[in-house]
Every structure is written in structure tokens, then in C-alpha cells.
Amino acid sequence: MVLFDSFTRRRSMVKQRVPGRKLPEAVRRGLPIRFEAVGEALASGSSTTAACSVVGRDVARDGAALGEALDGLRATYRLLRQTTPDFAAAEALSVAWAEESLECLHAMSCEDPLTGLASLAHVRTRLEELYRDSKRAGGSVRFTHALVIVEMTFSAPVDPGEHPFTRALYLVRLCEVTRTVFSGGETIGRLGLDHVVVVVRRAPELGGAVTLLRELLDDLGLGSARVRVWIEGLPETAASATGLLSGLAR
């Protein structure tokens, strides 16, 4: 139901942005499946970015490969404008397709295959459990738990002479150190390409654990990668916590 509601809201947003010129039925029948919104945007002369984002997610859920999705976009542009898609349209579709595919992949497994850490879906489930338990007990998760976030950024491009999987290898090493410090049953998950999250109890020793983690990560020698560690407070509701995780994952 959540996915359906989200999809409905996205469709509504697209309809609001497209000034409503209806496609001739013959043209509509000639469009690739799922690309009606893009066709309507092209017919009305408005931006196709929002429609491409919706379609990118739709076709990813249908199981279409990215190449198929881009072929559908090209066919739609040829039919309506006799041109090839512009960069913004192709980018919007590709990014949406990739994000939806990644979410589906995370939902299929509770463990990230690269690092062995919990998937984003599993971390969300763990937080939802905490919020439910806290509500039953009449307390607040904000006062009992927090998130420790480890962020890896690059101040300069990765050295071309380094291994082609340098970024992934750095993340694996970062995860190993995080697991060493937080080894007491905490939920440790991967968020996107460059973030690790730990669901922890608020306790007097938390500050010392974070300090130790910073020191160990400083000694890793991750080339041009810079690592930042901080404690993130949890919001009042489970829905807000899910939004927080999604934001970090992007």
C-alpha cells in the first residue's frame, strides 16, 4: 500500500506539471508501454523531467533493463518530436531507474553482499521495531537510541593508478573497523555508496566508542578518502526516521 500511495502521488505531481494536452489515440497506441506521461509532456511542450522520473521507476519495477528503458525514451521522442532525447530527460530516467533498482535489490536481502552489513531495508525494519516497542512502553526512541553515521567522501578524484575498485575496497575496510568497535549486537548497515549507519543505545560509553572509531579510521590510510563520524539523533516518528535514512542513502 505504501508503494502504491507513493506511486499515486508521483503520478499526481506529473499531471499537475503537464498542462493537459491529450494525445491523439493513434499516437498513444504507438507509444512504448509506460511512456504515456512522457508523450503527454512532449505534446504539451512542457519539461519531461518529472515524467521521465516516474517512468524510470515504473519500468525498473517491471524488470526492464536500462537499455530497454532508454530505447523506449528514444522511440517516444522520435514519435512526438522526430528528435533524440535531451540530456536532462535521459538523466532523469536513468537516475530514477537506478534508484528504484537499488531499492528493489535491498528489499530482496537483509545483507549487503559487498560488505556483509545489514541492507537499508533491514535497518529500516529494525528502527520500526524500536519505535513500536517504545510506543507500547510509553517512551520515546529519541531518548533511548541514536544513529552513528560514518561518511566517506573524496576531496579529489581517485588516483587512476589505484585499483579500479578502490572506492569499494575502502568501504569494506571502513566497515570492518566499524564492526570492531560496535561488536555488541548493534545493527550496522550500509547506506548508499559511502555511508555506514549503526543503530545504538544511548549510553554513557557511546561518546568514547565514537572517539575510538574516529581514531581507528584515521589510521586506516584511505588515500584521498576523508572520513567523518557523528552521532545523529532520531526523530519522533518511524516515518521521519525512514526519511532520514533515505536521505543519507542518496
Question: What pLDDT, on a 0 to 100 scale, did the predictor assign at position 234?
Answer: 93
Digit-by-digit pLDDT tens for the chain (250 residues) are: 333 344 344 444 444 444 445 778 888 888 998 899 999 999 988 899 999 999 999 998 888 889 999 999 999 999 999 999 999 999 999 999 988 887 776 555 566 666 667 877 888 888 999 999 998 988 899 999 999 999 988 765 555 555 546 777 888 888 889 999 998 888 898 887 788 999 999 999 999 999 999 999 988 877 778 899 999 999 999 899 988 888 887 6
> Where do we find the cell 507509444?
31
**142 touches 235 (CB < 8 A):** yes
Domains of the chain, by residue range, sit at: 2-108, 120-249
Nearest in space to 173 (alpha carbons), one of 150, 201, 206: 150
d(CA 4, CA 117): 29
Question: What pLDDT, on a 0 to 100 scale, did the predictor assign at position 24?
Answer: 82
Question: What pLDDT, on a 0 to 100 scale, did the predictor assign at position 156?
Answer: 56
**119 touches 111 (CB < 8 A):** yes
Name the H helices within 22-86: 25-30, 36-44, 49-61, 66-81
**245 touches 175 (CB < 8 A):** no
d(CA 226, CA 223): 8
Question: What pLDDT, on a 0 to 100 scale, did the predictor assign at position 52?
Answer: 95
Assigned CATH for 120-249 = 3.30.70.270
Question: What pLDDT, on a 0 to 100 scale, did the predictor assign at position 155?
Answer: 62
Nearest in space to 93 (alpha carbons), one of 189, 192, 14: 14
C-alpha 122: how far from its chain's center? 14
